[in-house]
Amino acid sequence: MGIDVVLDKCTGCGLCVKACPFAAVVVKDKKAEIDARCTLCGACADACKFEAIIIQRPEQTTEDLSGYKGVWTFVELHGEGIRKVSLELLGKSSDIADELGEKVGAVLLGRDTARHCDGLAAHGADVIYLAEHENLEDYYTQTYSAILCGLISNHRPSIVLFPATHLGRDLAPRVAATLGLGLTADCTGLSITEGMLLQSRPAFGGNIMADIICPGARPQMATVRPNVMKAREPDTGRKAEIVTVPVDIDLKGLDVVIKDVVSTVTKGVKSLEEVDLIVSGGRGMGNSENFAILEELADILGGGVGASRAAVDAGWRPRSDQVGQTGKTVSPRLYIACGISGKIQHQVGMKSSDTIVAINKDPEAPIFEIADYGIVGDLFEIVPALNEEFKRTLHKGK
Ligand SMILES: Cc1cc2nc3c(=O)[nH]c(=O)nc-3n(C[C@H](O)[C@H](O)[C@H](O)COP(=O)(O)OP(=O)(O)OC[C@H]3O[C@@H](n4cnc5c(N)ncnc54)[C@H](O)[C@@H]3O)c2cc1C
């Protein structure tokens, strides 16, 4: 494993200096020089337009993999806080690490993020790799992946988990490709078999679950859907070791420039993945206007409105409302499915809800197989009746 500068090709342009997040490259006498701070993250080789920097990584199948230790979670931040899925992954990492006798690592990148360390420790992190820099405030694939690749090359964890969010789905493949590793995307189950990570995910349109292991490479890497793992109850007495990662980020050499970050979520409104109650509608709703009765129910009970893919494809609801395999995975305390048949692709996105209520006029609809409470009947009679009754009861309670 090593890094070389091909002197004949190096022009001393300095792109590699800008790209290196660890300040390990300098140009002397018009040639790049790389010092001991190099983590083999690969950012300089990617930036070089002349193929003058060569990184040799070990052929993993011939390597002894026993030196890889630690179950890591990449921590995604959201607004002022830690995204819930990161805490879920820390919970899962803790279970896996307990079984393997390894430590739980949390990788936290950003600007002024040290304030989150106590929360990460409380949720299971034993070691927190903390890289702070003003230029890490916005997520850039290149900067974040370079730092992660460097950390992984240096510390050699056995497992790295990423949230299957937009960010995680962008970052994890880049890290895997740079380090020449595999990646299992969108896992819904993780366990240990014969010391290896057994990664389960739906395949063939959700009709089967595929179990994937990675015997020949480390770390084993997976993205994991939000709301399928459980976060641990926080233990505020827990402490973590904090490993400060010195970084020096220059955004000038990047291929992408972020000019503005626009949130499509209204301030104060929680996303479907985070609400406690969802009223969802399917093809049985008939049209977009009819969703008003579901919105009313969600308003009365304080929740959000979801939809099946059929309702979204019909243009009755926005894509961001879709629950299921190609939509969101949700896990509210109460999920009320109205006019949804409950095909497997819908179920995989909501079956971990604490309580499921189904309203459907077909008593044979598959949704009833997973529902805790089923109401067979016409939703256009049942939902308005529920709305009236809830309004009356809740009003009385005030
Ligand atoms: C690769 C792939 C990915 C997919 N991803 C998703 C996904 O992410 N999410 C998703 O939802 N689907 C997904 N699907 C589609 C899925 O297979 C189903 O087609 C879809 O979920 C059906 O939606 P539905 O239940 O609303 O409609 P239908 O299956 O048509 O069911 C409508 C239901 O409404 C009931 N109904 C009708 N009128 C009334 C009434 N007045 N009162 C009460 N009940 C009534 C009917 O009895 C019926 O059960 C995917 C499919 C594929 C192949």
Q: Residue 80 has what pLDDT?
A: 83
Q: Is 280 in the pocket of ligand 1 (CB under 6 A)?
A: no
Specify the amino acid at residue 61.
T
Which of 141-150, 208-217, 253-262 ranks highest by mean pLDDT?
141-150
**Percentage of residues of the chain with pLDDT beyond 70:** 95
**Which residue's alpha carbon is at the smallest distance from atom 28 of ligand 1?**
341
Q: What is the arithmetic mean of pLDDT over 111-133? A: 97
Mean pLDDT of the chain: 92
In the predicted model, is pLDDT for residue 2 greater than 90?
A: no
Q: Residue 152 has what pLDDT?
A: 96
Distances (CA, A) of 232 to 4, 18, 21, 92, 120: 45, 40, 33, 8, 11
Q: Residue 212 has what pLDDT?
A: 96
Between 3.30.70.890, 3.40.50.1220, 3.30.70.580, 1.20.120.80, what CATH number should domain 272-396 receive? Answer: 3.40.50.1220
Pocket probe for ligand 1: among 343, 347, 368, the residue whose CB has the most ligand atoms within 8 Å is 343
Do the Cβ atoms of 374 and 317 come closer than 8 Å?
no
Cα dihedral 264, 268, 269, 271, rounded to 10, equals: 70
C-alpha span between 168 and 162 (Å, rounded): 6
Q: What is the arithmetic mean of pLDDT over 334-363? A: 95
**Which residue's alpha carbon is at the smallest distance from atom 27 of ligand 1?**
283
Q: Is 146 in the pocket of ligand 1 (CB under 6 A)?
A: no
Total length of the chain: 398
Closest atom of ligand 1 to CA, residue 281 = 26
Q: Residue 252 has what pLDDT?
A: 84
Q: Is 308 in the pocket of ligand 1 (CB under 6 A)?
A: yes
In the predicted model, is pLDDT for residue 279 greater than 90?
A: yes
Q: Is 339 in the pocket of ligand 1 (CB under 6 A)?
A: yes
Q: What residues have CB less than 8 Å from 206, skipping those under 6 apart?
A: 325, 344, 345, 348
3-state secondary structure of 82: strand
Which of 35-49, 191-205, 206-220, 371-385 ranks highest by mean pLDDT?
371-385
Closest atom of ligand 1 to CA, residue 380 = 41
C-alpha span between 65 and 58 (Å, rounded): 11
Distance from Cα 44 to the centre of ligand 1, integer Å: 49
What phi, psi does 21 have (nearest 5°)?
A: -80, -5
Distance from Cα 369 to the centre of ligand 1, integer Å: 15
Q: Is 343 in the pocket of ligand 1 (CB under 6 A)?
A: yes
Give the residue among 21, 48, 57, 43 at the shortest CA–CA distance from 217.
57
Cis before residue 219, ω within 30 degrees of 0? yes
Closest atom of ligand 1 to CA, residue 327 = 8
Token reading at 260: 């503005």
C-alpha span between 305 and 352 (Å, rounded): 17
C-alpha span between 129 and 107 (Å, rounded): 5
**Percentage of residues of the chain with pLDDT beyond 90:** 79
More confident residue, 326 or 206: 326
Do the Cβ atoms of 136 and 114 come closer than 8 Å?
no
Hey, do 62-244 and 272-396 end up sharing a CATH topology, with the first three levels equal? yes
Least confident of 84-98, 102-116, 384-398: 384-398
Q: What is the arithmetic mean of pLDDT over 99-120? A: 97
Q: Residue 15 has what pLDDT?
A: 93
C-alpha span between 188 and 236 (Å, rounded): 28
In the predicted model, is pLDDT for residue 241 greater than 90?
A: yes
In the predicted model, is pLDDT for residue 319 greater than 90?
A: yes
Between 3.20.20.370, 3.90.550.10, 3.40.50.620, 3.40.50.2000, what CATH number should domain 62-244 receive? Answer: 3.40.50.620
Would you list the DSSP string of 350-396? TTTSSEEEEEES-TT-THHHH-SEEEES-HHHHHHHHHHHHHHHHHH
**Which residue's alpha carbon is at the smallest distance from atom 48 of ligand 1?**
341
Q: Residue 94 has what pLDDT?
A: 98
Looking at the domain covering 2-56, what would its CATH class be? alpha beta
What pLDDT digit, counting tens, does each position of 344-358 carry? 999 989 998 999 999
3-state secondary structure of 151: helix
Q: What is the 3-state secondary structure (H, E, C) of 94-139?
A: HHHHHHHCCCEEEEEEECCCHHHHHHHHHCCCCEEEEEECHHHCCC
What pLDDT digit, counting tens, does each position of 253-275 carry? 788 888 888 776 665 667 888 88
Q: What is the DSSP letter of 179?
A: H
**CB count, 10 Å around CB of 132?**
17
Domain ranges (residues) in the chain: 2-56, 62-244, 272-396
Distances (CA, A) of 288 to 63, 327, 349: 58, 18, 22
End-to-end, the C-alpha distance of the chain in Å comes to: 69
Least confident of 53-62, 229-238, 307-316: 53-62
